[in-house]
Amino acid sequence: MRYSALKVLTQGLTGNKGWTPAWREPDPKPEYDIVIIGGGGHGLATAYYLAKEFGVTNVAVVEKGWLGSGNIGRNTTIIRSNYLLQGNQPFYELSLKLWEGLEQDFNYNAMVSQRGILNLIHSDPQRDAFARRANAMRLSGADAELLDRDGIRRMCPFLDFDNARFPIQGALWQPRGGTVRHDAVAWGYARGADSRGVDILQNCEVTGIDIENGVVRGVQTSKGPIRAAKVAMCAAGSSGRVAALAGLRLPIESHVLQAFVSEGLKPVIPGVITFGAGHFYVSQSDKGGLVFGGDIDGYNTYAQRGNLPVVEDVCEGGMAIMPMIGRARLLRMWGGVMDMSMDGSPIIDATDTDGLYLNAGWCYGGFKATPASGLCYAHLLATGQPHETARFFRLDRFRRGAMIDEKGVGAQPNLH
């Protein structure tokens, strides 16, 4: 299915009737300037910006599966920049600005749809917290409004405003939030990187990282050794396992997160809606399916599938704010492996090994970060200096006690 969809897309782009791959399938070269481990959204975006913004094209993206097989093709596609903390808000706002110009930038239709995101408020303290967050957003140049019940009712009359336990009191509204077709993002970045000379090596697993006297020399892969002056880890939910190849233990746990899609319905949900008294978020895809999710399953795993208790929990969240969802039939569900960091925020940094870099800890919010993460990681790899906007995402912040704990729950990865 995925390949036939891609074929149609590439035919549309080239006008050819035959199969025209959107990117080459090269054999690995013996040596590159930079090897990126992980061909998910962040790895491909990094390669794209390395080539486009910094002219670094002797780059390989090494992916153990196929493009889109990881979280870039598994997420619920929500983009937003409604963060509070200084380390996060400007970074996610940069990312949202990049989303806004992305399709023109890489000349690919990624269905960027800024239909807005509505974070529901159910209590007075929550209103205070969201007012504070809205102010932080505005200070960083983002858009934010507080809506009252009437304002929400005009947009979403179907919500259960007077639920006995969770009455809706208002909402934080970010009109520029929305959704983007996730796997098209991988394809767009891959095509843009490939056309500039980057080698994308699919079905090629990194099995070792070669280090001599504290300096990285390259990687071992299922297609043989590859030498490299710089190795950039970018393996999302597998970050712990990849870092272990270099003898590193990360402040990260891997957890599974599930996503759900209903049967196709007529347009009913205008944008993205999130429940404020539990964890539930929902949007509607252009095909009509309600796309929704909630919390991670809460136990450590590398399995890309979840369990039933969270299904029940997510459905309870949906029923609490929009009981009509109980009439929709569930069509499909799946899981992806999250790299949950100790403070819920990511890491973009050099490691103590010369030439070895780390991009990880995106938790379940890394899709929206894809463009800014790629740009900032490319900046670090090309210049050796952290990008101004990502300067707080340092690995040593856990040692320094300079956590970026957006939720304020402490070193509890399963709660972020």
Ligand X SMILES: Cc1cc2nc3c(=O)[nH]c(=O)nc-3n(C[C@H](O)[C@H](O)[C@H](O)COP(=O)(O)OP(=O)(O)OC[C@H]3O[C@@H](n4cnc5c(N)ncnc54)[C@H](O)[C@@H]3O)c2cc1C
Q: d(Cα 345, Cα 64) in Å, to the nearest integer?
A: 25
Residues that bind ligand X (CB under 6 A): 37-43, 62-65, 69-72, 74-78, 205-206, 234-238, 242, 257-259, 293, 336, 362, 364-368
The nearer residue to ligand X, 259 or 277, going by C-beta atoms, is 259
The nearer residue to ligand X, 10 or 82, going by C-beta atoms, is 82
Least Å distance, CB 205 to ligand X, is 4
The nearer residue to ligand X, 62 or 137, going by C-beta atoms, is 62
Least Å distance, CB 167 to ligand X, is 26
The nearer residue to ligand X, 327 or 395, going by C-beta atoms, is 395
The nearer residue to ligand X, 293 or 344, going by C-beta atoms, is 293
Least Å distance, CB 59 to ligand X, is 15
The nearer residue to ligand X, 10 or 274, going by C-beta atoms, is 274
From the list 204, 234, 192, 186, the residue with the least C-alpha distance to 74 is 186
Least Å distance, CB 76 to ligand X, is 4
Q: d(Cα 65, Cα 203) in Å, to the nearest integer?
A: 5
Measured torsion, CA atoms of residues 207, 28, 232, 108, in degrees rounded to the nearest 10: -120
Least Å distance, CB 156 to ligand X, is 19
Distances (CA, A) of 246 to 209, 249, 355, 365: 6, 9, 12, 26
The nearer residue to ligand X, 69 or 262, going by C-beta atoms, is 69
The nearer residue to ligand X, 143 or 183, going by C-beta atoms, is 183
Q: What DSSP assignment string belongs to 6-43?
A: HHHHHHHHH--SS---SS--PPPPSEEEEEEE--SHHH
The nearer residue to ligand X, 10 or 77, going by C-beta atoms, is 77
Residue with tokens 């023109």: 104
Least Å distance, CB 314 to ligand X, is 11
Quickly count: other Cβ atoms within 10 Å of residue 207's Cβ: 12
Q: d(Cα 43, Cα 220) in Å, to the nearest integer?
A: 18
Q: Sign of the C-alpha dihedral, residues 174, 254, 226, 69?
A: negative
Least Å distance, CB 261 to ligand X, is 11
From the list 336, 388, 387, 402, the residue with the least C-alpha distance to 363 is 336
Burial class (CB in 10 A: 0-12, 13-18, 19+), 388: exposed
3-state secondary structure of 264: strand
From the list 29, 30, 28, 7, the residue with the least C-alpha distance to 18 is 7
Least Å distance, CB 285 to ligand X, is 12
Least Å distance, CB 262 to ligand X, is 15
Report the residue closest to ligand X, judged by CB.
Answer: 40
3-state secondary structure of 199: strand
